[in-house]
Amino acid sequence: MDYPQDPRTVGMLGGYAPSGEPLPATPDHLYEVAESWRVSEHTPPEIRDQLRVSRDLFTHCLLVWEFSAVGVAWSLLAVESALRWALGARQSTPFQQLIKRAHREGLLTDELADALDAGRRLRNDFSHPRNQPAWTLGMAAPALRRSHAVVFHVSEIVGGRGSTNPS
């Protein structure tokens, strides 16, 4: 079944050509952008799946504009899952405590910890919405890229230790 493009996404800017010309957002362009977000071979399969879903939502946001915000929310869940895995933390440990502990234990730099705290607050806003958020590509892509980078970073550190539980 072919789905029509969401009318709100028609004419969205997808980036710039090397010559500086604006490029329209296309499914192929969004796929290329999403594929540029690296995933570590050390990332557990279930967390890789969360990241894949976030990329899939992003690449389909031309069909349903709100998919970009849902993709960001899902990528933040992947970050939380990655921290929980890396720290061997209980399921009940709050995201904020995971961030603080990961920072204390050297998994996160000051900059990453600050960015993740902002992401945590955003995730909380997504979890308790007043309405359905819709994000532009320019809002969603950097957040998704950062989530993927954090999971990659944490996975490489944990994988480099040869253990799935560095605690």
Q: How far apart are CA 46 and CA 44, in angstroms?
A: 6
Number of folded domains in the chain? 1
Q: Which pLDDT score, from 0 to 100, does residue 132 have?
A: 82
Domain assignment present for residue 3? The answer is no
Domain assignment present for residue 61? The answer is yes
- Which residue bears the tokens 């308790």? 128
Q: How far apart are CA 103 and CA 114, in angstroms?
A: 10
CATH number at residue 140: 1.20.120.330
Strand pairing partners for 16?
22
Domain assignment present for residue 161? The answer is no
Domain assignment present for residue 47? The answer is yes
Q: Please give the chain's pLDDT, 167 residues, in tens.
A: 567 888 888 888 887 889 999 888 888 889 999 999 999 999 999 999 999 999 999 999 999 989 999 999 999 999 999 999 999 999 999 999 999 999 999 999 999 999 999 999 989 888 887 888 888 888 999 999 999 999 999 999 998 764 444 33
Model pTM?
A: 0.88
Domain that holds residue 129: 23-153
Which residue in 78, 73, 71, 74 sits closest to 137, CA to CA? 71
